[in-house]
Amino acid sequence: MNATPTVFQRRIVIGAVICVAAFALVGVRLIDVTLFISNVAAGKQSAVSATSRGDIVDRNGELMARELPADDLYARPHMFADKRLAAHELATATGTEERRLAQAFASRHAYVIVARQLSPETRAKVQALGLPGLEYEPDGKRYYPDGRMAAQVVGVTDPDGNGVSGLELGLDPKLRGEHSGDPMQTALDMRVQFILAHEAEAAMQEFKAHAAGGLVMNVRTGEILALVSLPDFDPNARAFAAGDSTRNIAAQDVYELGSVFKIFSFAMALEDHTIPNLDEQIPIGSGYRIGKYTIHEAEHMPATLAVRDVFALSSNIGTAQIVLRSGPQRQRAFLAKLGLLSPIKSELPETARPLYPSNWGIIETATIGFGHGISVSPMAFAAAAAAVVNGGRRVLPTFVKHPEDARGEQLISPATSATMRELLRYVVTNGTGKKADAPGYDVGGKTGSAEKAGPHGYQAHKLITSFCGVFPIDDPSYLVFVLLDEPHGTKATAGFALAGYTAAPLAGQVISRIAPLLGVPMKPVAAAKENS
């Protein structure tokens, strides 16, 4: 006969049952946590792999953007002995806002994100704190090795790897697609980009301009080899420094460009045969009256000028008389055909709608003839100017490499294009563009100085200066367009801030440096002088 269990024995049995149950619960929890963390990590890694972006490279294969591994940092606040101190230390190490962390740690959230896309250096700082309850999950971070050098054109992504500006946005489907492992080769040449950026920055500082920019285009393919917009920003930083700007002035801003627009006025006149010959004499005088308006010159002009000198010396009065021979309807149709009355399209999402008068009458025709009363983006201007000099055929700007000839529809005759190249060369040898000459390369071009519009009309001492340069002018390959916003004259320019003193030398310096890199053969200086 079995004895009845004692109270002590019953307590031992009950304790044993409780211990077994506790160990079983802990075991189940460990399995659950292990599987959960593994699944989260695997899911996070799969998400990173799925959203990984392809590299962006220039036309020569130089890396411009790449996805690098990074870590997202999470915290379990209940494990911190001092939550305020932990918030302070983590904010200092990661650059995160301390107030946000302090509020999140004080809440009842069991899991708080501290910072995303930590660099190895930042992760090391965090680990050195020795705080408990920190976890890292794999992520990716977009890295731009050239920093500011091509910030506006390359663009940036958001923390989730989505393109938000520039080519990162414009090429987003291709960069995230099935072939995202393959690099996206652009038309950009970082050697040319560096030179254009360096010279634009130097000119911006020398003339104390508010902004500066420009581009280099292949006039046969439409490829953009370089595009610069200053001020710029650091795409690797999530915060902007004082004076930084994400705005691409070459693509998304429009300007009254002034006398560079005379390129289109003279091309129209040649197409319409309203100029008998380039030696025809045009009366200038002291002013040209149209109704209640009087057109004046920016600088003193002779009483009469030959047509070629109207262009070379940039006479507003002479140009107004020439464009009026064609009239308002013809001028509007001609500019529309060149693509100047609609937004330009390219792989860049940033674009701008041109501004022009709804009532296009006689006075509007005259002022548009010399680049006032119509505002276009530098990129739209460059595409139209490329057609004028490349034999007369349309090209569309592109940031994707395709070195094949892409000239399309015939917009003006080859004969008109040839005469325009002759006039552009004459501007550099005998006109306002002398400071743009690059010995050995036979540069052609046109200056532009436009007064900026203000709330009470045009402001005489606030200029947009620009220069459109083409080389080699006898058989053009490349177009260089540069722009300065409100440059100031210097002692070296005798106080003058017009394009011939500011933008023209900038373009000439750029051409002198990029032409050898682009394989443009140099003519002997003596031969170049004979051909001038």
Residue 13 within a domain: no
pLDDT tier at 454, thresholds 50, 70, 90: confident
Q: Taking residues 329-355, report their average pLDDT.
A: 97
At residue 458, the pLDDT reads 84
Q: Calculate the CA dihedral of residues 102, 108, 111, 114 and round it to 10 degrees.
A: -10
At residue 160, the pLDDT reads 86
CATH of the domain at 482: 3.40.710.10
Give me the domain span that covers residue 286: 192-531
CATH of the domain at 117: 3.90.1310.10
Pair (230, 154) in one structural domain = no
More confident residue, 476 or 456: 476
Distance CA 144, CA 451 (A): 37
Residue 48 within a domain: no
At residue 41, the pLDDT reads 43
Q: Taking residues 410-431, report their average pLDDT.
A: 98
Q: Strand, helix or coil at 356?
A: coil
> Is the pLDDT reported for residue 39 higher than 70?
no
Domain count, the chain: 2
More confident residue, 43 or 287: 287
Distance CA 424, CA 415 (A): 14
Q: Calculate the CA dihedral of residues 322, 328, 333, 334 and round it to 10 degrees.
A: 10
Residues in the chain: 532
Last residue of a domain, one of 185, 214, 234: 185
Pair (202, 309) in one structural domain = yes
Pair (204, 130) in one structural domain = no
On average, the pLDDT of the chain sits at 90
Last residue of a domain, one of 144, 168, 185: 185
At residue 34, the pLDDT reads 45
Distance CA 519, CA 510 (A): 15
Pair (70, 106) in one structural domain = yes
For the stretch 118-143, pLDDT in tens is 888 899 999 999 999 999 998 888 99
Which runs of E-coded beta strand occur in 351-410?
none
Pair (329, 216) in one structural domain = yes
Catalytic residue ranges: 259
> Is the pLDDT reported for residue 263 higher than 60?
yes
Q: Taking residues 13-28, report their average pLDDT.
A: 59
Residue 10 within a domain: no
Last residue of a domain, one of 159, 185, 211: 185
> Is the pLDDT reported for residue 341 higher than 90?
yes
Give the HSE-up count for residue 421: Cα atoms under 13 Å, Cβ half-sphere: 26
Residue 22 within a domain: no
CB atoms under 10 Å from CB of 3, counted, come to 6
Pair (361, 305) in one structural domain = yes
Distance CA 508, CA 145 (A): 29
Q: Taking residues 240-257, report their average pLDDT.
A: 94
Pair (108, 217) in one structural domain = no
More confident residue, 27 or 165: 165
For the stretch 143-198, pLDDT in tens is 999 999 999 999 999 988 899 999 999 999 999 875 556 799 999 999 999 999 99
For the stretch 203-245, pLDDT in tens is 999 999 999 999 999 999 999 999 999 999 999 987 788 899 9
Pair (238, 131) in one structural domain = no
Distance CA 126, CA 392 (A): 62
Q: Taking residues 334-338, report their average pLDDT.
A: 98
Pair (267, 374) in one structural domain = yes
Pair (349, 484) in one structural domain = yes
Q: Which residues pair with 478 in a beta bridge?
A: 218, 471
> Is the pLDDT reported for residue 516 higher than 60?
yes
**Most distant CA atoms of the chain, gap in Å:** 141
Pair (272, 196) in one structural domain = yes
Pair (296, 375) in one structural domain = yes
At residue 241, the pLDDT reads 85
